[in-house]
Amino acid sequence: MPAIKHFNFAQVIGDGAIGSLICAGMETAQLPYGRKTRSTMPVTTLETYHNKPIQLASDRGNCQRLTADDLLVLPIKVHQLNTALDECESALHPNTTVMLLQNGMGGEEIVSQRLPQQPLVIATTSHGAYKDNNRVKHTGLGETKIGSNNIDAGHWKATAALQLLNLCIGPARWESNMTHALWSKLAVNAVINPLTALNDIPNGELTQNKYRNEIELLCTEIASVMHSQNIHVSTRELVDNCLNVAAATAKNFSSMHQDVAHKRKTEIDAINGFIVSTAQKKGIDVPINALLVQKIKAR
Ligand SMILES: NC(=O)C1=CN([C@@H]2O[C@H](COP(=O)(O)OP(=O)(O)OC[C@H]3O[C@@H](n4cnc5c(N)ncnc54)[C@H](OP(=O)(O)O)[C@@H]3O)[C@@H](O)[C@H]2O)C=CC1
Ligand SMILES: CC(C)(CO)C(=O)C(=O)O
């Protein structure tokens, strides 16, 4: 069997929760990586799920010059992508692979409009991590899906990206239909994130009966928008999936809950906002999603 080719170097943008998990995986596997951070107190340590501390490589303020055999990892929010690309675009080779890793939609469009020829892989993860000053704690084990609309699964860059994610936030698997995987995750985030943020509750509380009606109405809207994108799921499947994730992450406070609590910009535009704008284009009414966008923005 031929040896797997790795990326020569991975440039990770930010020292966020998920980015730090990825760096810790590369640190452990002794793969070359760099971090571009901008905080006054950058993350130095990742505490693993089993409480083992891993020291991360020192950060640098700039993106390093990257070659065709390197990887740019963007584990940042959709609304942070344009700034990151402004800062990194000139450091990219036309064949540097770019990896997107975030909740919500719109990231692929931003990157492919700005860098239409760039090899691009898109990933979504259900691992949980929490950033507290200069430490990140791996709080929940999950899995990661990855796919691409411009690299074949057999290309070495696809294999290398999958291998990297398996080392850092595995188990990871290649999805031939990433659009489907992203919509499924979007549906979960569109229910759990705003409802936990607005009701100030951990994820597990959403399994209580008093939230069931709102969750069902929300999932009915989301299922009809997904249907308009040729993704055929029933309201029942969406509700069950949301409740399963809420139960599996019962003690977690969702990322939107944390953003609201810390008065940070939320990802509502890339989550429920994306559902609303997709629905508008198709002439579908989604009043509950629209109301959640309004309510989160009013926080
Ligand atoms: N944390 C989790 O458990 C999970 C998160 N996700 C998703 O993954 C994505 C990332 O989440 P998470 O890691 O939690 O987010 P964080 O806010 O912890 O991480 C993003 C980090 O990147 C930094 N950053 C953004 N742009 C730049 C830039 N141009 N240069 C340098 N640093 C930059 C931010 O800095 P600053 O603070 O200054 O903005 C921030 O520290 C989100 O879409 C989230 O929804 C998905 C699954 C689970
Ligand atoms: C899966 C879930 C809801 C876990 O909290 C999440 O992705 C988030 O908080 O953004």
- Taking only the tens place, the pLDDT of each residue in 241-250 is 999 999 998 9
pLDDT of residue 75: 98
For residues 32 and 123, membership in a common domain is answered with yes
Atom of ligand 1 nearest to the CA of 84: 29
Kindly tell me if the per-residue pLDDT of 96 is higher than 90: yes
Dist. CA 185 → ligand 2 center (Å) = 9
For residue 41, give the ligand nearest its CA.
Answer: 1
pLDDT digit string, tens, across residues 29-47:
999 999 999 999 999 999 9
Ligand 2 centre from 231 Cα, in Å? 22
- Asked whether residue 3 is domain-assigned, the answer is no
Look up the CATH number of the domain holding residue 269. Answer: 1.10.1040.10
Sheet (strand 172-174) strand order: 59-60, 33-36, 10-13, 71-74, 97-101, 120-125, 144-147, 172-174
Which residue among 38, 39, 145, 252 is best mutated to probe the pocket of ligand 1, counting the most ligand atoms within 8 A of its Cβ? 38
Which pLDDT value is given to residue 2? 63
Indicate the burial class of 283 (C-beta count within 10 angstroms; 0-12, 13-18, 19 or more).
Answer: exposed
5, part of any domain: no
Specify whether 101 is located in the same domain as 137: yes
Whether residue 242 is contained in a domain is answered as yes
**Which letter, b or e, does each residue of 118-130 get, where b requires 16 or more Cβ atoms within 10 Å of its Cβ?**
bbbbbbbbbbbbb
Question: Which residues are registered as beta bridge partners of 148?
Answer: none
Q: How confident is the model at residue 172 (pLDDT cuts 50, 70, 90)?
A: very high
pLDDT for 137: 95
Domain stop point among 176, 204, 237: 176
Q: Give the CA angle between residues 258, 259, 262 to the nearest 5°.
A: 85
CA of 13 to the centre of ligand 1 (A): 9
User: Ligand 1 within 6 A of 22 CB?
Assistant: no
Whole-number pLDDT of residue 3? 72
Q: Are residues 170 and 186 in the same domain?
A: no
Whether 203 and 123 map to the same domain: the answer is: no
**Res 232 pLDDT > 80:** yes
Q: How many domains, the chain?
A: 2
Q: What percent of the chain has pLDDT over 90?
A: 94
Exposure b/e, 178-207, CB count within 10 A at least 16 = b: bbbbbbbbbbbbbbbbbbbbbeebebbebe
Looking at the structure, do residues 153 and 215 belong to the same domain, yes or no? no
DSSP bridge partners of 178: none
Q: Residues with beta carbon inside 6 Å of ligand 2?
A: 103, 126, 128, 188-189, 192-193, 203, 245, 249, 252, 254-255
Q: Is the CB of 73 under 6 A from ligand 1?
A: no
pLDDT digits (tens, 9 = 90+) for 74-89: 999 999 999 999 999 9
* Per-residue confidence (pLDDT) for residue 225, from 0 to 100: 98
Q: Report helix angle 212-228 to 272-282, nearest 10.
A: 50
pLDDT digits (tens, 9 = 90+) for 257-280: 999 999 999 999 999 999 999 999
Closest C-alpha to ligand 1, atom 20 = 16
Question: Is 52 among the domain residues?
Answer: yes
271 and 212 co-located in one domain:
yes
The backbone torsions φ and ψ at residue 105, rounded to the nearest 5 degrees and listed phi first, read -115, 165
CATH of the domain at 62: 3.40.50.720
- Nearest alpha carbon to residue 21 among 108, 107, 113, 144: 144
Asked which of 176, 204, 238 is the last residue of a domain, the reply is: 176
In this structure, the answer to whether residues 28 and 154 fall within a common structural domain is yes
Q: Domain end: 146, 176, 206, which one?
A: 176
What is the pLDDT at residue 201? Answer: 98
Would the CB of 215 count as within 6 Å of ligand 1? no
For the chain, the average pLDDT equals 96
How deeply is 233 buried, as exposed, middle or buried, from its count of CB atoms within 10 A (0-12, 13-18, 19+)?
middle
Alpha carbons 234 and 214: distance in angstroms, whole number: 16
Task: Report d(CA 42, CA 107) in Å as an integer.
Answer: 25
75 shares a domain with 183:
no
Is residue 281 located within the same domain as residue 186?
yes
Neighbour-count burial of 152, counting CB atoms closer than 10 A to its CB (0-12 exposed, 13-18 middle, 19+ buried): exposed
Residue 210 falls within a domain, yes or no? Answer: yes
Checking phi first, is residue 51 left (phi over 0); if not, alpha (psi -120 to 50) or beta?
A: left
Residues 94 and 236 in one domain: no
- Does residue 42 sit in the same domain as residue 89? yes
For residue 183, pLDDT over 90 is answered with yes
Q: Is 281 one of the catalytic residues?
A: no
Select which of 36, 77, 157, 185 is catalytic: 185
Over residues 149-154, the mean pLDDT reads 96
Based on the fold, state whether residues 21 and 153 are members of the same structural domain.
Answer: yes
Q: Residue 115 — very low, low, confident or very high, per pLDDT cuts 50/70/90? A: very high
Q: What are phi and psi of 5, to 5 degrees?
A: -85, 130
> Domain range holding 231?
179-297
pLDDT digits (tens, 9 = 90+) for 121-140: 999 999 989 999 999 999 88
Tell me if 15 is assigned to some domain. Answer: yes
Averaged pLDDT, 192-196:
98
**Ligand 1 pocket member 15 (CB < 6 A):** yes
Q: Supply the pLDDT for residue 4.
A: 76
Quick one: which of 164, 27, 153, 14 has its CA closest to 75? 14
Looking at all shown ligands, the one closest to residue 100's CA atom is: 1
